[in-house]
Amino acid sequence: MRVIPAIDIIDGKCVRLSKGDYDTKKVYNENPLEVAKAFEAHGISYLHLVDLDGAKSSHIVNHKVLEQIATKTKLTIDFGGGLKTDEDLHIAFESGANQITGGSVAVKDRPTFLRWLNAYGTKKIILGADANNEKVAVSGWQEDSDQELIPFVQAYQKIGVEYVICTDISKDGMLEGPSFELYSKLLNKTKILRTEIGGSGVLDSEEIGIKLIASGGVSEFAELPKLKQLGCEGVIIGKAIYENRISLKQLEHYILEHE
């Protein structure tokens, strides 16, 4: 399971929110690059970078921060927040994103999201499936849609989506533990039995599913093995790092033990 720290950006600064509420903004560092370099120095290879200004304004805003981190670290960055148009996507990849996360666009503009999947491939485009009471939320979580979480993910899985980031918004930034039950349900409901004819003519069957990246609520190190056991492909950790509930040294040891 990949360890993916989060940096959320407002006005070029590293912040955290609670339950996506912009009024709860807390600035942790005015230099996101400094934070990213600290992650890298502790053996972390991945970064979840969110443009909260972009999410609110529906177009990419903080691409200069992305470019700075991409050019001055070797972190593999997935970038999200406000990506609505082909131009937004082009700017994100040109600025150094390795993957992008599409949430609102996958709900509100399915043809565009499908075009991105076809153009860039399923390894570069992550489905953002953030939920309130198992309903998908959009527009920086300011708005609920009528889409049920599991059917929404299943529909995209059928057309090839591999990576899914799922945040239970009620847990995000609350340091009360992840939504284990929701992730277990989502992983079980997206298992597909694939059957192929092997070289000897014998039918080979294997169960495959989405690559689920858990996000929201992580509060202590002991939760990581539980998420791994559930079958999560990655875990995004934000406030628990910034509030010193999980140390970078702990994450460094975890990564060394599981490589």
- Closest CA relative to residue 95, chosen from 132, 54, 127, 130: 54
Partners of residue 183 on adjacent β-strands: none
pLDDT value for 198: 59
Q: How many domains does the chain have?
A: 1
pLDDT value for 205: 57
pLDDT surpasses 60 at 140: no
Which of the four pLDDT bands, split at 50, 70 and 90, describes residue 195? low
Instruction: Tell me if residue 109 is catalytic.
Output: no
- Closest CA relative to residue 141, chosen from 20, 50, 24, 59: 20
The dihedral built from the CA positions of residue 142, 169, 163 and 136, taken in this order, carries a sign that is: negative
CATH number where 244 lies: 3.20.20.70
Find the catalytic residue in 78, 130, 168, 172.
130
Find the catalytic residue in 8, 78, 88, 172.
8
Q: Residue 238 in contact with residue 5, Cβ under 8 Å?
A: yes
- Closest CA relative to residue 27, chosen from 38, 36, 11, 16: 16
- Owning domain of residue 48: 2-258
Instruction: Tell me if residue 8 is catalytic.
Output: yes
pLDDT in tens, 26-37: 999 999 999 999
pLDDT value for 163: 97
Cα–Cα dist 227/244, whole Å: 20
| 3-class SS of residue 237 | strand
Q: What is the mean pLDDT of the chain?
A: 91
pLDDT surpasses 60 at 2: yes
